Amino acid sequence: MCRREQAHKRDGLPCVADTGNMEKMSNQRILFLAPAHAVTRIFPQLKEAGFEVGLAENLKGASAFIRKSGPGVIFSRPSLPGYKVEDLLAVGEEDPHFPPVVVITDKGTVEEAERLLGLGARDYWLEPLSVEKVTLMARSPASPRSPAAPSSTLGGRAPEVPAGGPRIVGRNPAIRRVLALARQVAPSKASVLISGESGTGKEMFARTLHAWSDRSQGPFIAVNCAALPEHLLESELFGHEKGAFTGAVARKPGKFELADGGTILLDEISEMELALQAKLLRVLQEGEIDRLGGTETIKVDVRILATTNRNLQDWVQQGKFRQDLFFRLNVIPLRLPSLRERGEDILELARFFIDMYVREYRLAPTPLSEEAVDWLKRHDWPGNVRELQNLMERAVLLAGGRAITPRHFLLDEDAWPLFEDAPEEEGACPMTGPFADREEGAEGDRSADDSDGWSPDAAFAPGGGAGSSGAFPGAVIPLHEMERLMIMKGLEATAGNRTQAAELLGISVRTLRNKLNEYRGMGMEIE
């Protein structure tokens, strides 16, 4: 028995010495100890890359996964209710076979990073997580950094996309030209201005540029310039010293500091106030920043990417955007075509998303009917690729393994029988994943108040949840249960925002509210 086992016996933290499964630790298994909404976005891409992914939101659930599955690496928030990452680091200090722990956070500080790295954390990352970084760490957990790729000139050959990295789908000449240009400029440090309508995939292209660059092993930091007022955005970008303003109780590094050695994405740069644009120009020209309230000039090595859905040249003429900053950002212009400009790419993307969600929800192969194909071709796609992706997830869930028809797009929400107490349809598709019904008393059955950190996303983890062999054997999911699970997943995906969840599900807020009241009346715990 290891020394730390007694100290953490209450929490059930494992030591490798007493868990034979841990000796079989696999770098194809990843455990995330974090809120579901913070990490599940990248799960489909990780699974596509061949990884087995586990999710726990408390120490008990994490301990169970570690004992059963032996993950190769653990990505953990610094703290969760009833848990601190120091508990895991303490075990790793005594046990050389314990998986490496990478700390992930949405509110990082230099002081916290130094402290946790000193306690044995393998690395300290700022969210949102990038698939390429997670993949690189998971494939070689014994080494936090792989050797950097040879430097490339602007005219040289761009590196290949890392396994599990961003994937741009499409064969239309308009998108291929943008991809060819992106490959050409990716190895350079030149600023890139990515323009296009909302939903065209500007952030995806930014992540692709980062993945193809010589900075791919460095951080990728995305900042939404439209989400914060000027005074908060300045602090977010450049950081602040303790006492710089009311509420500044500690020194905080800015996004530019955290992105040092990597790439920073300034999303919706057109929404930045003119006064802040002048300060950003200095960063581009000098590579220096000043924290709010600070006296020290800090050098940073950051590649800057920017996105906009506006015509910045028009904004320059209107006096809403600095001309000198525009020229600095627009060294390499990338204009992404709208989805309606991409012709047959619509169907290719639709089938790509269908296959992705079929795998995620463990459904039978789901084809597109001719009627659905015709509708997809005729639609104007004001929301572009984002709209198409959301529509395909909805259709896959509603089709349940059958051919997708226009009715599965919920064009008329009031006509869909799913939101009634409809009987089980004859010939429903059998399911083996987390949405399948559990037989009463089946092995692995869990109650609603289970504290092991199980969730629909965690169910894909080996050894736990619906992904295990004992869950839902050969069962058929009733429509009302599918409805409930869809609603719960919609709320989870939107962090409990009912308006957004209703929009994602294709129903009215009133319908969603009525369904939640119905579940409460059935004795379910609904927040």
Residue 496: pLDDT band by 50, 70, 90 thresholds? confident
Q: What is the pLDDT of residue 70?
A: 83
State the average pLDDT over residues 508-524.
80
Domain boundary among 139, 165, 182: 139
Any domain includes 377:
yes
Domain boundary among 116, 139, 162: 139
The b-or-e profile of 284-319 (16+ CB within 10 A means b, else e) is: beeeebbbbebeeebebebbbbbbbbeebeebbeee
Residue 140: pLDDT band by 50, 70, 90 thresholds? low
| Residues 331 and 480 occupy one common structural domain | no
Residue 256: pLDDT band by 50, 70, 90 thresholds? very high
State the average pLDDT over residues 131-147.
63
Q: What is the pLDDT of residue 527?
A: 63
Phi, psi of 354 (to 5 degrees): -60, -50
Residue 421: pLDDT band by 50, 70, 90 thresholds? very low
| Residues 508 and 419 occupy one common structural domain | yes
* Percent share of the chain, pLDDT over 70: 76
Domain boundary among 311, 337, 363: 337
Output 71 or 4, whichever has higher pLDDT: 71
**Other residues' Cβ atoms within 10 Å of the Cβ of residue 524:** 12
Output 55 or 497, whichever has higher pLDDT: 55
Does the pLDDT value for residue 464 go beyond 80? no
Q: What is the pLDDT of residue 417?
A: 61
State the average pLDDT over residues 282-304.
89
**Other residues' Cβ atoms within 10 Å of the Cβ of residue 275:** 9
Residue 221: pLDDT band by 50, 70, 90 thresholds? very high
Does the pLDDT value for residue 348 go beyond 60? yes
Q: In 3-state terms, what secondary structure has residue 174?
A: helix
- Write the pLDDT tens digit of every residue in 182-200: 888 998 899 999 999 999 9
Output 407 or 108, whichever has higher pLDDT: 407
Any domain includes 116:
yes
Q: What is the pLDDT of residue 159?
A: 35
Q: What is the mean pLDDT of the chain?
A: 77
Does the pLDDT value for residue 61 go beyond 90? no
Any domain includes 156:
no
Q: What is the pLDDT of residue 379?
A: 94
- Cα–Cα distance, 167 to 169 (Å, whole number): 6
| Residues 438 and 510 occupy one common structural domain | yes
The CATH number for 114's domain is 3.40.50.2300
Contact yes or no for 346/170 (Cβ under 8 A): no
| Residues 333 and 347 occupy one common structural domain | no
State the average pLDDT over residues 411-434.
50
Q: What is the pLDDT of residue 517?
A: 82
Does the pLDDT value for residue 457 go beyond 50? no
Q: What is the pLDDT of residue 346?
A: 95
Contact yes or no for 339/388 (Cβ under 8 A): yes
- Nearest-Å Rg of the Cα atoms of the chain is 24
Q: What is the pLDDT of residue 317?
A: 93
Does the pLDDT value for residue 301 go beyond 90? yes
| Residues 234 and 124 occupy one common structural domain | no
Any domain includes 349:
yes
| Residue ranges making up the domain that contains 223 | 173-337
Does the pLDDT value for residue 142 go beyond 50? no
State the average pLDDT over residues 268-278.
90
Q: What is the pLDDT of residue 115?
A: 82
Output 144 or 478, whichever has higher pLDDT: 478
| Residues 234 and 111 occupy one common structural domain | no
Output 209 or 87, whichever has higher pLDDT: 209
Any domain includes 75:
yes
Does the pLDDT value for residue 206 go beyond 90? yes
The b-or-e profile of 38-63 (16+ CB within 10 A means b, else e) is: bbbebbbbbbbbebbbbbbbbbbbbb
| Residues 410 and 513 occupy one common structural domain | yes
| Residues 449 and 382 occupy one common structural domain | yes
Any domain includes 146:
no
Q: What is the pLDDT of residue 395?
A: 92
Our count of domains for the chain comes to: 3
Q: What is the pLDDT of residue 443?
A: 41
The CATH number for 286's domain is 3.40.50.300
| Residues 362 and 482 occupy one common structural domain | yes
Any domain includes 152:
no
| Residues 130 and 9 occupy one common structural domain | yes
Q: What is the pLDDT of residue 293?
A: 85
φ/ψ region of 12 (left if φ > 0, alpha if ψ in -120 to 50, else beta) reads left
Does the pLDDT value for residue 84 go beyond 70? yes
Q: What is the pLDDT of residue 230?
A: 74
Q: What is the pLDDT of residue 265?
A: 95
Q: What is the pLDDT of residue 303?
A: 95
Q: What is the pLDDT of residue 332?
A: 92
Does the pLDDT value for residue 331 go beyond 80? yes
Q: What is the pLDDT of residue 512?
A: 86
| Residues 266 and 415 occupy one common structural domain | no
Q: What is the pLDDT of residue 367?
A: 92
The CATH number for 483's domain is 1.10.8.60
Any domain includes 371:
yes
| Residues 358 and 471 occupy one common structural domain | yes
- Cα–Cα distance, 522 to 400 (Å, whole number): 25
Task: Order the strands of the 71-76 sheet from edge to edge.
Answer: 52-56, 26-33, 71-76, 101-105, 123-126
Does the pLDDT value for residue 431 go beyond 90? no
